[in-house]
Amino acid sequence: MAKQPLLLCVLDGWGYNPHSYANAIRTGQTPVWDELIATYPHTLLRCQGESVGLREGLMGNSEVGHENLGAGRTVLQEILFIDKAIDDGSFFEKPAFVAAVERVKQSGGNLHLMGLTSDGGVHSSEKHYLALIDLGARAGLRPDQILFHAIMDGRDTDPRSGAGFVQVVQDHMDRTGYGRLATVLGRYWAMDRDKRWPRTRLAYDALVHGRNTQDSGDLADIEFGVFPTAAAAIADAYATGDSREYDEFMKPRLIAGPDGAPLPRFRDGDALIFFNFRGDRPRQILYPLHRPEFAEFPTGVVPDMTLASVTQYEAALTIPYGFKRERPVNILGEVVSAAGLTQLRAAETEKYAHVTFFFNNQFEQPYPGEERILVKSPPVATYDLQPEMSAFRLAGAVVDNIERFDVAVVNFANPDMVGHTGVFEAAVKAVEAVDKCLGLLLARVRELGGRAIITADHGNCEEMIAYDQVRDAAGKFDYALRIPHTQHTTYNLTPCVLVDDAHRGAELRAGGCLGDIAPTMLQLLGLPQPVEMTGESLLPE
């Protein structure tokens, strides 16, 4: 017998923006969305800063958003308790960090610091990586033993903002007298998470060999330039005028020492601390350094190094780490499972971890009664080339299977992933594709007598031009400027619609946040809300 499912559909990156300019959602043809807003109860939810467990004013992201959605409460994020450890000094006493420094002191090698170098706050923190430079200094390393490998952002920050972030590192080194910038390279290469191994190999080659070892394929012709300073390396990339050389996509550039040769690469006896606090994107570049059985590409002789990370990236990646957050208990998936109900999690590759690992608050295994559908994302260089991504295949798979489940959590990645490209026309197409897919899902849910909550984890595609850079002194838009906006937005609001005929004409509670979704779902399911789940239902009393 078919179920009457409760669907939670997350339109990733579909935020609220009061302005229509460069707003892909308002520009696109979205008849399904327009009908929902006109017909069903809706509200706006807070999705950034303290409302989702981040520093105040810090934009939300997919990982944090899904953790809050799944937990039914505000989930304190790693960035805050690492901040606290730096402030109270316990950061510098973490055994994983101490062991890395001791290895270098004993071997005479180098302490390598690597991670995303920006103030985006999604993957890393400026406060954290500057503290790691201080760690080496406090431990008595020589000033030249600390080497910094800057992974450029341009995705959670403006496309050419990286020069400023790297300058902050250089200024800190100049002020303290410790550390040298050794490499700059884009996150496109060093932080891939979808097993695009040629990209990872290029980053690995830059860090280990100092030369490109690929002799075939699209990347074989790339050469690593050597520059006197990191600032010169970045300026060289920007001078091309080619957005494919800006921060996110910057090809590896090596920094020279006083003798004109590149500063040392990874060597036997060295130590590496990866300072990203979010685990999904460092894993792939660490696998060839950590796993003897790694065979995705030729590595050459892997240096015998001590590895460490700021947080635990995954259980299977058994390297020492400084911090591990305690998982919340009695989260939505756990409560649904304990009640004997079935649940589906479905997404394409880019957001699959979000509806599974992150929605379950960093618990890898499915709960009893939980099944998962993974649809592979298209193998394109950037998603503006295929803005529909795999949305229609995903929608079809959910339509074919949802009748077997009491609860379904589905994520459409397009508004976020295409929004990150900064290509407005593609973002409009992405929005229109998702609107059509949403219509397919809702038609099936209604046919089964089910209900749905439609929301987003954060914003993105509702601002495709950098508003703060295209306004005049009076605050008016200069429409001649077309500076792409590629990061998440900071309006702090995402829409939420309850598609339930029993609640037509009702009003959802205002002032809620993402952590209120799970309590709302439990109320719709008739399940009691655990005391640990401190969010509040959005349904009218």
Q: Which residue's entry shows tokens 């439990």?
A: 522
Please, how many CA atoms are within 13 Å of residue 444, restricted to the half-sphere of its CB? 22
Every domain of the chain with CATH number 3.40.720.10 lies at 6-76+327-525
pLDDT in the model for residue 472:
63
The DSSP line for 59-117 is PP-HHHHHHHHHHTS----HHHHHHHHHHHSGGGG-HHHHHHHHHHHHH---EEEEEE-
Report the 10 Å Cβ neighbour count for 473.
5
For the annotated catalytic residues, the residue numbers are 62
pLDDT for position 57 = 86
Q: Where are the alpha helices (DSSP H) in 217-366?
A: 230-239, 283-290, 332-338, 349-353
Percentage helix, strand, coil for the chain under 3-state DSSP, each rounded to 5: 40, 15, 45
Rounded to whole angstroms, how far apart are CA atoms 12 and 31?
Answer: 19
The backbone torsions φ and ψ at residue 13, rounded to the nearest 5 degrees and listed phi first, read: 85, 15
- Alpha-helical (H) ranges within 369-502 are 391-401, 414-419, 424-447
Residues carrying CATH 3.40.1450.10, the chain: 79-323
CATH code that applies to domain 6-76+327-525? 3.40.720.10
pLDDT in tens, the chain (541 residues): 889 999 999 999 999 999 888 899 999 999 999 999 999 999 999 999 999 999 988 889 999 999 999 999 999 999 999 999 999 999 999 999 999 999 999 999 999 999 999 998 889 999 999 999 999 999 999 999 999 999 999 988 889 999 999 999 999 999 999 999 999 999 999 999 989 999 999 999 999 999 999 999 999 999 999 999 999 999 999 999 988 899 999 999 999 999 999 999 999 999 999 999 999 999 999 999 999 999 999 999 999 999 999 999 988 899 999 999 888 999 999 999 999 999 999 999 999 999 999 999 988 899 999 999 999 999 999 999 999 999 999 999 999 999 999 999 999 999 999 999 999 999 999 999 999 999 999 999 999 999 999 999 999 999 998 776 656 666 666 655 667 888 888 777 999 999 999 999 899 999 999 999 999 999 999 999 999 999 999 999 8
Q: Which two tokens stand for residue 7?
A: 């669907």
Provide the H-helix boundaries in 162-315.
162-176, 187-190, 197-204, 230-239, 283-290
Distance CA 489, CA 318 (A): 35
Amino acid 75 reads V
CB 387 within 8 A of CB 430: yes
| Residue 209 burial class via C-beta count within 10 angstroms: exposed 0-12, middle 13-18, buried 19 and up | middle
Q: What is the pLDDT of residue 488?
A: 86
- What is the assigned CATH class of domain 79-323? alpha beta
Dihedral, CA of residue 470, residue 387, residue 216 and residue 266, to nearest 10: 60
Q: Which residues, other chains included, contact 509 with Cβ-Cβ below 8 Å and sequence gap of 6+?
A: 43, 516, 536, 537, 538, 539, 540
